[in-house]
Amino acid sequence: MKKRSLFALALAASLGAAGCGPAAEPDPNHNINDDATDQFGDEDRDIELTFSYTGMDYVPLVEEYVEKNPNITVTIQRLESEDHHRNLFTALSAGAGAPDLVLIDYTEIETYKNAENHFMNLYDLGAEDVESRYLDWVWNIGTNVSGDFSLGIPAAIDPTVLYYRKDVFEEAGLPSEPADVDEHLASWDDYADAAETILAETGKPMAPNPEMIYHAKRDQAPEYYFNEADELIIENDSYAKDAYFNTIDWMEAGYIDQLLIGSSKWWGSMKEGSYATLPAPASMRNEIQTNAPDESNWRIAHIPEGAGNQGGAWLTIPGQTDHPEETYAFLEWLTEPEQQLRLFKEQGVFPPNLALYEQEELNDMAGYFGDQSPGQRFAEAATTIESVHRGPRFYAVNEEITIGLENVSRGEDSDEEWDEILDRINRRIDR
């Protein structure tokens, strides 16, 4: 079964955590995890658009848009992630039934780049005029390799940071203020040294799960598992192999726990402070605040040696639309700074729009993480990320490596498992 991204997991688990304060009271009649179709605007309006999405909650923004545009009706389709993408694939294959506007998440967008003929090239509708709003790596995710086809406009990103427990660092006699932790954990070697100290002084591991460490190190590679021609390069990829064996070394040293992401122990550990650090994307902020609402020891530092991106979403327009200009106008409005800031403040969805990174409303959100502004930390992380090609089969390869880490944690030999990983990947890619 395909694993959900941490971005999707965090949104589903605690969407409603507003800013840095407590989560909003849930509306019993409005659950974004329920499949739903709703129409906004009178039926006799001139233009009817359909908008399909998963994860984020666009209802308040859709209501505002149709109020401002009295000639437009918007019908939304809120679906679970697998249903959302299955329905889109089916509609594109059939040549009928696709929505006018579709949100495609980070884990799926590479797949649709092989289906350009089924989508509008957003450059033809004016996307070039908004390209400068975004960091290069963010924009490139929504375009093809040659850069002449814009499949999607960025709606959200999920840069990684190092959440950590101030109290655990203090107990171990280590620097505990964010700026000092940034300096003290500048490299992965520094991180390992701190892990040794924390384990010796407190008996606690440095991180809760090997997958998260592997992903943090993998994100820093200049190439992932495929080159830009989508040729598999993992057998010559020292970054993936080194990240795999480094993670295992730390597991065997006791620096990494084996908590299953999403398990009851996983949620409880956020409140109990049973480990020192959590390398994770911006959306994890929601989970931490929701599962440890009264905790005062969580802080945010930078990932040693650089951040990565582990989620987000892009807005696309299937070629079946009868209203490309009207749909693009709707898309562009949804991605303007005011709307993206609202999604961040109300849902914790981090915006990709550069104009927001200097705004006081994004950066003046201190509270839960001491006097830190999560928005400022996430923005700093986002601006350090490099553009790296993933390809449509990235997650197939990544899943096999994750399975390999799980197998080693159960006692399999790490060298033999790496050979098995390569065999499984080659068989899977050849299918």
Residue 403's nearest CA partner among 255, 236, 216, 211 is: 211
Tens digit of pLDDT for each residue in 383-401? 999 999 999 999 999 999 9
pLDDT of residue 364: 67
pLDDT of residue 31: 41
Distance CA 198, CA 214 (A): 20
Angle (CA) 313-317-322 rounded to 5° is 155
Name the residue with higher pLDDT: 365 or 186.
Answer: 186
Above 50 in pLDDT, residue 3? no
Q: What does pTM read for this prediction? A: 0.89
pLDDT of residue 214: 97
The stretch 101-119 carries a mean pLDDT of 94
Residue 342's nearest CA partner among 65, 28, 26 is: 65
Give the C-alpha distances (Å, rounded to integers) separating 266 from 14, 203, 247, 290. Answer: 14, 18, 19, 13
Distance CA 208, CA 200 (A): 17
Residue 347's nearest CA partner among 110, 59, 51 is: 59
Q: Is 254 left (phi over 0), alpha (psi -120 to 50) or beta?
A: left
Going by pLDDT thresholds of 50, 70 and 90, the confidence category of residue 231 is: very high
Among 11-25, 121-135, 260-274, the minimum mean pLDDT is found in 11-25
Tens digit of pLDDT for each residue in 323-370? 999 999 999 999 999 999 999 988 889 999 999 998 888 876 668 899
Give the C-alpha distances (Å, rounded to integers) separating 265 from 162, 168, 259, 291. Answer: 20, 18, 7, 11
Q: Hey, which residues does 353 pair with through a beta bridge?
A: 134
Distance CA 48, CA 42 (A): 10
Above 60 in pLDDT, residue 15? no
Distance CA 257, CA 206 (A): 8
Q: Could you give all domains of the chain from N- to C-terminal order, each with its CATH number?
A: 6-12+21-157+312-382 (3.40.190.10), 159-309+388-430 (3.40.190.10)
Instruction: Tell me the percentage of the chain whose pLDDT exceeds 70.
Output: 91
Distance CA 353, CA 373 (A): 17
pLDDT of residue 238: 81
